[in-house]
């Protein structure tokens, strides 16, 4: 979108314009999101004279537009009579939009007008809350864009929209230039970051390059003293960046989880990376009763210590983790897809200082104890880096001590003599 276009710039600079949004700005914003998320179905409320439909009609396979005014609908039906992919509906969009969902088979881009409807286009009633509720409850994924949120009719429609979206999980929203953007989020990739400026770029790129469409990337800078924060800032609004004082790995993971909106969480350390198909292949395995999905792990990098030295490049199969296996040995990668419900039931990553280095192992036990199962994928979609100076090497030298701390933290699973 050309934000230097005089008409677009006039509107974006005004900040609080009620009716100032141009067809060009509106159309380019719609097309930008449609391309970004590969959306080929468009639903609009408030057809008016059909300017938006005209602007975007060449992109979408199917367009559905709802208008309250019978006269405006009739005029637009004549205007688009030669376009079989354009479908026009007359009536209350709060009700009519429900009739569309049976035919919406693919992710959809919605454009909703927040202003009230009636007469030529403005009255005293806004169907916004009913429209949003219908979309959220339909199960249709995609992007929702809402304009006319400003307080033009002694109503704050932004508050109405935010109150409604807050009732449903799996959606992230923001307001920019007076337009609310609500996006489906299936998974939240959470990257805790501390002094890894040489590696974090590759990590973020691997998260952003997922073939699955609906996800968010959250980077938690944990008080880095090198250039890590500057590397993360280069990604701008493509990521959600949290900058906090140093609190440790598990606290950073929990901080990312708190601001996330995804149905599933994927912790990814800032020196590791994932294959582009990680989310595409693991999310479908999250069937009923599955709390975690793990994949095979490719271990790579360089080790320098007394008993091992040189390059590392080996595959670690995941197998089929169970509680009985996990309570004695951590066979699951730290980067595994977690159902948010299971994560919350387990209380997230433990704050106990004696098990910080084994926070992921402790979490897997907490989740499995609550009856959740693990699904495994025998494909190395996660790449785990070993470095000469890394937490994993430090942990390996203290394994016996840390494993004993894990057992002490779960007295219900171990006899006294085993602790």
- pTM for this structure? 0.86
pLDDT of the chain along its 419 residues, tens only? 455 555 445 545 544 444 456 778 889 999 999 999 999 999 999 999 999 999 999 999 999 999 999 999 999 999 999 999 999 999 999 999 999 988 888 999 999 988 765 545 445 568 999 999 999 999 999 999 998 776 444 567 788 888 999 999 899 999 887 789 999 999 999 999 999 999 999 999 999 999 999 999 999 999 999 999 999 999 999 999 999 999 999 999 999 999 999 999 999 999 999 999 999 999 999 999 999 999 999 999 876 444 444 555 667 777 789 999 999 999 999 999 999 999 999 999 999 988 888 999 999 999 999 999 999 999 999 999 988 765 555 555 578 888 889 999 999 998 765 65
Radius of gyration of the chain (CA): 25
Gap between the Cα atoms of 72 and 16, Å rounded? 27
Helix (H) or strand (E) holding 217: strand 215-222
Left, alpha or beta for 179 (phi > 0: left; psi -120 to 50: alpha)? Answer: beta
- CB count, 10 Å around CB of 92? 16
Judge contact between 295 and 379, C-beta under 8 A: yes
Instruction: Tell me the CATH architecture of domain 6-184.
Output: 3-Layer(aba) Sandwich (3.40)
Helices (H) and strands (E) in the chain, counts: 16, 16
**Bridge partners for 383 per DSSP:** 273, 298
Gap between the Cα atoms of 170 and 165, Å rounded? 9
Helix (H) or strand (E) holding 75: helix 70-79
Burial 319-347 (b: 16+ CB within 10 A, else e): eebebeebbeebbbbbbbbbbbebbebbe
List strands edge to edge, sheet with 179-184.
Answer: 86-90, 62-67, 41-45, 108-113, 142-147, 179-184, 171-176
Which residues have a Cβ under 8 Å from the Cβ of 184 and sit 6 or more positions away?
Answer: 107, 141, 142, 143, 170, 171, 214
Comparing C-alpha atoms, which of 322, 341, 343 is closest to residue 332? 322
The DSSP 8-state label assigned to residue 305 in this structure reads S
Burial class (CB in 10 A: 0-12, 13-18, 19+), 176: exposed
Gap between the Cα atoms of 202 and 195, Å rounded? 14
Delimit the domains of the chain by residue range. Answer: 6-184, 187-418
Helix (H) or strand (E) holding 193: strand 187-193
Q: Which value, to the nearest 10 degrees, does the dihedral of the CA atoms of residues 49, 102, 146, 205 take?
A: -120
Left, alpha or beta for 9 (phi > 0: left; psi -120 to 50: alpha)? Answer: alpha
Instruction: Tell me the CATH architecture of domain 187-418.
Output: Alpha-Beta Complex (3.90)
- CB count, 10 Å around CB of 212? 16
**Alpha helices by DSSP H, 139-212:** 157-165, 200-208
Gap between the Cα atoms of 216 and 235, Å rounded? 13
Gap between the Cα atoms of 224 and 39, Å rounded? 38
Task: Please tell me the predicted confidence (pLDDT) of residue 114.
Answer: 80
Q: Does residue 131 sit in helix, strand or coil?
A: helix
Task: Please tell me the predicted confidence (pLDDT) of residue 5.
Answer: 55
Gap between the Cα atoms of 198 and 58, Å rounded? 44
């Amino acid at each position: 979108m050309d934000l230097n276009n005089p008409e677009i710039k006039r509107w974006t600079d005004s900040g609080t314009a009620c009716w100032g949004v141009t067809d060009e700005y509106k159309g380019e914003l719609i097309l930008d999101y449609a391309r970004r998320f590969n959306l080929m179905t468009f639903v609009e409320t408030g057809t008016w004279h059909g300017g938006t439909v005209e602007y975007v009609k060449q992109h979408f396979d199917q367009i559905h537009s709802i208008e309250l005014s019978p006269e405006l609908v009739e005029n637009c039906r004549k205007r688009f009579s030669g376009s079989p992919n354009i479908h026009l509906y007359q009536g209350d969009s709060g009700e009519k939009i429900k009739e569309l969902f049976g035919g919406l088979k693919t992710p959809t881009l919605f454009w909703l007008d927040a202003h009230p409807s009636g007469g030529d286009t403005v009255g005293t009633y806004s169907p916004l809350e009913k429209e949003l509720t219908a979309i959220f409850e339909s199960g249709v994924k995609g992007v929702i864009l809402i304009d006319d949120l400003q307080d033009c009719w002694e109503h704050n429609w932004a508050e109405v929209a935010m109150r409604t979206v807050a009732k449903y999980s799996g959606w992230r929203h923001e307001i920019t230039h007076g337009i609310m953007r609500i996006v489906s989020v299936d998974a939240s990739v959470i990257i805790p970051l501390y002094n890894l400026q040489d590696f974090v770029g590759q990590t973020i790129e691997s998260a952003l390059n997922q073939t699955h469409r609906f996800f968010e990337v959250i980077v938690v800078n944990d008080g880095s003293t090198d250039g890590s924060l500057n590397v993360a800032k280069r990604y701008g609004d493509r990521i959600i960046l949290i900058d906090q004082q140093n609190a440790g790995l598990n606290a950073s993971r929990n901080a990312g989880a708190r601001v996330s909106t995804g149905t599933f969480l994927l912790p990814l350390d800032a020196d590791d990376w994932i294959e582009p198909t990680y989310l595409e292949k693991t999310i479908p395995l999250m069937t009923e009763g599955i709390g975690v999905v793990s994949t095979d792990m490719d271990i790579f990098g360089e080790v320098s210590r007394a008993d091992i030295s040189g390059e590392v490049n080996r595959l670690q199969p995941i197998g089929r983790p169970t509680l009985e296996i996990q309570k004695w040995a951590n066979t699951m990668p730290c980067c595994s897809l977690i159902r948010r419900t299971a994560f919350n039931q387990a209380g997230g990553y433990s704050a106990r200082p004696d098990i910080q280095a084994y926070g992921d192992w402790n979490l897997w036990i907490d989740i499995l104890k609550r009856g959740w199962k693990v699904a495994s994928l025998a494909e190395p979609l996660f790449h785990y880096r070993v470095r000469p100076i890394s937490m994993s090497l430090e942990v390996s030298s203290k394994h016996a001590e840390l494993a004993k701390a894990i057992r002490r933290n779960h007295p219900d699973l171990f006899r006294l003599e085993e602790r």
